[in-house]
Amino acid sequence: MGTSNQFYKTNDYRAMAYPYQITSLEQYKKDYQRSVDEPEEFWGAIAENFLWRKKWDKVLDWNFSEPKIEWFKGGKLNITENCIDRHLETMGDKPAIIWEPNNPEERTRVVTYSRLHKRVCQFAQVLINNGVKKGDRVCIYMGMIPELAYAVLGCARIGAIHSVIFGGFSAQSIADRLYDAQAEFIVTCDGAYRGAKDIPLKSIIDDALIGNRTIKKVIVYTRTRTPISMLKGRDVWWEDEMEHAESQVEKDNIVSFPATEMDAEDPLFILYTSGSTGKPKGVVHTIGGYMVWTNYTFINTFQYTPGDIHFCTADIGWITGHSYILYGPLSAGATSVMFEGIPTYPDAGRFWDIIDKYKVNILYTAPTAIRSLMSYGMDPLKYKDLSSLKTLGTVGEPINEEAWHWYDEHIGQKKCPIIDTWWQTETGGTLISNLAGVTPAKPSWATLPMPGVQPLLVDEHGEEVTEPDEHGMLKGNLCIKAPWPGILRTTYGDHERCRTNYFATYKDLYFTGDGALKDKDGNYRITGRVDDVLNVSGHRIGTAEVENAINMHAGVVESAVVGYQHDIKGQGIYAFVIHSNVHGDEELTRKDIFQTVSRVIGAIAKPDKIQFVSGLPKTRSGKIMRRILRKIAEGETKNVGDITTLLDPGVVEEIIKGKL
Ligand code: PRX
């Protein structure tokens, strides 16, 4: 328990081992079985390796019907003591975060665990000074800079609930999220650098705050020196606040800021994600289970060895950044590379430069990034030393075999295991993945479930699929039978929505929204969403959300959005739009609609194609037949499915003719 654990006592971090690291296929099988047979004993033993102020009363209490899920309830802790304080004695000088700026000419910043401790304590004090209390919601809208990590962890230190919003979302999206979370505080920057662009974050926040009555304070960090407006009484400068806090938390070179004692089941953060209907949902993760899950999956899937340099290329605005840039690696005492920019700036060799520069051992990225970099050919790889790499990972979307092999041959040089980690915002961390070099990889298959994860394939009636298809595979909708520590607990402010979205489709099962195949060896291959959610460049976008945005444009009568296969992004967004006056200037109308979608959601949701149509294929009851539109968007001209039930079958032919 607590400070007496093996982890804390180690003097040399390189010699430090994780007692729950799985090191062989046999052990995986044994641990998996045990996690299913005796989940409380299994996870209780793993949780012993963390720093608790008080031990939990019960490891697990759950039912999926409400749902009620409690892990380590009654346990008292602070996650930042686990991510920072407990490493200080033995690895205070070890880099926690290595920050690579957008502009390679700019200076790298190395944040040691001691420095991270100081900055997080200081920022926690800033939050207190500005009136933030335990349980308050703090929205964070920043670029990928170390201050973002200080802000996130500063919230966690005082028990405030952070809600990070990705820099690509619009003012309207932010306003919706602020309202839903009833947030009272914002941490932002004047601007953010992303490739050749400079995103005016503060000015977007100002737009989001027009008419807002809940936000009390906006803390602004200077990154781009873009001129911004600062509202008296509401907006304060990060630098001034930090300077003031410094004298409060540091005396005689000793930094002290007590971490707030939290219950394992207190919320840690809200992260908004798209669903098949309406507005994004605020997925809520709680402290204890999320900590154990991100740490356990980080160590086991990547086979992290103390001393390894881990580079996850995701943005902290998404769950991958939360779990595998911050909480997972830091709780394991790892060194995490944080990159401000994009893979193609200033050129398509940027990732390879970073790997070479910091001798990165683990690279974790999205198939979209791999496909995009592949398209530049071999030139960007010339003279880049990638020999430090030991493990490669992918996440966010299915990886096609071609990209898998390219990754294997040209990046891993055929000596690095590739892990294909399948998971979701709601799952907190990886659920299905091979363990690097420990369990077998299979190109484009996520393979085996992590200990604690019990997948099940069901048909549309919720019956378990047991009959293999002609290829010997089971095929169905992917559900999970029992909770793992990192599962979401609720959707913020609306528990019923959580129930209906995830736990009501099939009785007593968590429904993922994904379809999957299972081979005879028990490996899973995720085939993609089976609901109306698109996965564009590894980002989730609801078709209903995009339609709502398009429909807001003047002149649009109705629209239907579907996904289609896109060589780089995995899926592209195809919109069929009925517009009252396209005869004016089609191209201009299209641009106007792009602009509307960018305003309402953000540039990430901009359709790739807009086809103007005079009608949509609808049933007599008025339901749009998306499966027909999906076929058309994929280029099918003949077999678009049964159209006899349509109100006006003629419309299909017209749409096929006008296909872009
Ligand atoms: O469809 C699955 C796909 O991404 C969805 C989850 O998206 P999000 O919550 O944004 O989280 C992304 C990062 C964890 C899933 O429902 N997905 C994620 N990982 C994979 C994947 N599809 C196939 N293979 C994966 N490895």
AA letter at 205:
I
Q: For ligand 1, say whether the CB of 457 is within 6 Å of any of its atoms.
A: no
Does pTM surpass 0.85?
A: yes
Asked whether the beta carbons of 327 and 294 are under 8 A apart, the reply is yes
> Which parts of the chain have pLDDT scores under 70?
1-16, 583
The predicted pLDDT at position 16 comes to 53
Give residue 146's pLDDT.
98
Check residue 278 and give its pLDDT.
Answer: 73
Cβ of 281 less than 6 Å from ligand 1: no
Residue 574 corresponds to which tokens in the numbers above? 């195809």
**Taking a C-beta distance cutoff of 8 angstroms, is the pair 272, 283 a contact?**
yes
Rounded CA-CA distance 313/301 in Å is 16
pLDDT of residue 10: 37
Q: Please name the residue whose Cα sits nearest to atom 23 of ligand 1.
A: 398
Distance in Å, CA 448 to ligand 1 centroid: 15
In 3D, which of 614, 604, 503, 591 has the Cα closest to residue 545? 604
Which amino acid residue places its CA nearest to atom 11 of ligand 1? 424
Tokens 């939990």: give the residue: 56
CATH of domain 533-657: 3.30.300.30
- For the Cβ of 514 lying below 6 angstroms from any atom of ligand 1, the answer is yes
In short, whether 123's Cβ falls inside 6 Å of ligand 1 is no
What is the C-alpha separation between 533 and 539, in angstroms, rounded?
10
Residue type, 4: S
Nearest CA to ligand 1 atom 18: 396
Give residue 533's pLDDT. 94
Instruction: Please give the distance of CA 175 from its chain centroid, rounded to a whole number.
Output: 20
Largest CA distance in the chain: 81
- Nearest-atom number in ligand 1 for the CA of 539 is 10
Q: Is the CB of 273 under 6 A from ligand 1?
A: yes
Mutate to test the pocket of ligand 1, among 312, 424, 447, 517 (most ligand atoms within 8 A of CB): 424
Topology of domain 5-420 in CATH is Rossmann fold (3.40.50)
Structure token pair of residue 363: 């690279």
Q: What is the pLDDT of residue 8?
A: 34
Q: Provide the 10 A C-beta neighbour count for residue 103.
A: 13
Q: How far is the CA of 315 from the centre of ligand 1 (A)?
A: 15
Test site for ligand 1: of 535, 536, 543, 571, most ligand atoms within 8 A of the Cβ: 535
How close is the Cα of 152 to the center of ligand 1, in Å? 23
Beta-bridge partner residues of 365: 394
420 CB within 6 A, ligand 1: yes
Ligand 1 atom at minimum distance from 399 CA: 24
d(CA 512, CA 509): 9
Residue to probe by mutation, ligand 1, list 294, 365, 514, most atoms within 8 Å of CB: 514
**Domains in the chain: boundaries:** 5-420, 533-657
